[in-house]
């Protein structure tokens, strides 16, 4: 794997099932990455040390996921001047709305680019898009990815027309 350009950081290993979707995307695009568990609250010293040295370590984008009082992305953004993408993790209460609101309402001057609740896949894609702005190979892969996606949706329309919605539903249920 290439040098880690994207860091995927999460508040707890309990976030990993969701955050692994960002790692899958980065791996699919061949983007070098690293993965860490760091908490804004439980390991605040280590989080500070990590965020302050990330630029010098070559990190270009940080994807940070947290749930509940989800301060990790904002705290990292305060210390890391390059793009931070926040992933609100759905916890045991409030359907993730608490995480979303904790991450999205940053003070003007310190942005966190926030994706949807549990939307780590989009966070991975956003990181790829940011890097693709200055990487032609990656941009080509993004075009291919979107074309493949388009073909798969159009194929569904074709199948839906051919089967009719009731048969299509039966196939979906299987
Ligand atoms: C947050 O608290 C973490 O990001 C996680 O989503 C949540 C619960 O953490 P655990 O109690 O599962 O370690 O800081």
Pairing of β 6-10 and β 33-37: parallel
Point out the ligand 1 atom lying closest to the alpha carbon of residue 14.
Answer: 12
Q: Which of 44, 68, 95 to mutate to test the pocket of ligand 1 (most atoms within 8 A of CB)?
A: 68
Q: Which of 33, 61, 31 is nearest to 135 (CA)?
A: 31
Atom of ligand 1 nearest to the CA of 66: 4
pTM here is 0.95
Gap from CA of 58 to ligand 1 centroid (Å): 27
> What is the rounded distance in angstroms from the CA atom of residue 24 to the CA atom of residue 121?
8
Q: Which atom of ligand 1 is nearest to the CA of 39?
A: 14
Report residue 61 as tokens: 């984008």
Residue nearest to atom 6 of ligand 1 (CA): 67
Q: Is the CB of 15 under 6 A from ligand 1?
A: yes
Dig out the tokens for 39 from the structure: 């908490």
Locate the ligand 1 atom nearest the alpha carbon of residue 13 and give its number: 13
Nearest CA to ligand 1 atom 7: 67
- SS3 of the chain: the string is CCCCCEEEEECCHHHHHHHHHHHHHHHHCCCCEEEEECCCCCCHHHHHHHHHHCCCCCCCEEEEEEECCCCHHHHHHHHCCCCEEEEEECCCCHHHHHHHHHHHCCCCCCCCEECCCCCHHHHHHHHHHHHHCCCHHHHHHHHHHHHHHHHHHHHHHHHHHHHCHHHHHHHHHC
Ligand 1 pocket member 91 (CB < 6 A):
yes
User: Exposure of 122 by Cβ count < 10 A (0-12 exposed, 13-18 middle, 19+ buried)?
Assistant: middle
pLDDT of residue 145: 98
Terminal-to-terminal C-alpha distance of the chain: 38
Low-confidence ranges of the chain (pLDDT < 50): none
* pLDDT given for residue 169 in this prediction: 96
- For the Cβ of 93 lying below 6 angstroms from any atom of ligand 1, the answer is no
Task: For residues 34 and 26, give the distance between their C-alpha atoms in angstroms, rounded to a whole number.
Answer: 10
Around Cβ 38, how many Cβ atoms within 10 Å?
Answer: 23
Looking at residue 174, its pLDDT comes to 87
Give 31-76 pLDDT, tens digit per residue: 999 999 999 999 999 999 999 999 999 999 999 999 999 999 999 9
CB of 25 closer than 6 A to ligand 1? no
């Amino acid at each position: 794997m290439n040098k880690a350009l994207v860091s995927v950081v999460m508040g707890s290993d309990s976030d990993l099932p969701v955050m692994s979707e960002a790692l899958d995307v980065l791996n699919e695009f061949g983007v070098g990455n690293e993965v860490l568990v760091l908490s804004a609250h439980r390991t605040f010293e280590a989080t500070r040390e990590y965020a302050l040295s990330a630029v010098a370590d070559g990190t270009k984008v940080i994807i940070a996921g947290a749930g509940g009082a989800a301060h990790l992305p904002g705290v990292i953004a305060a210390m890391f001047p390059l793009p931070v993408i926040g992933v609100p993790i759905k916890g045991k209460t409030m359907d993730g709305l608490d995480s979303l609101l904790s991450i999205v309402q940053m003070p003007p001057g310190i942005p966190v680019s926030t994706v949807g609740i549990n939307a780590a896949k989009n966070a991975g894609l956003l990181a790829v898009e940011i890097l693709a702005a200055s990487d032609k190979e990656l941009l080509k892969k993004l075009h291919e990815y979107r074309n493949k996606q388009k073909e798969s949706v159009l194929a569904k329309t074709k199948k839906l027309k051919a089967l009719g919605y009731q048969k299509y539903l039966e196939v979906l249920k299987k």
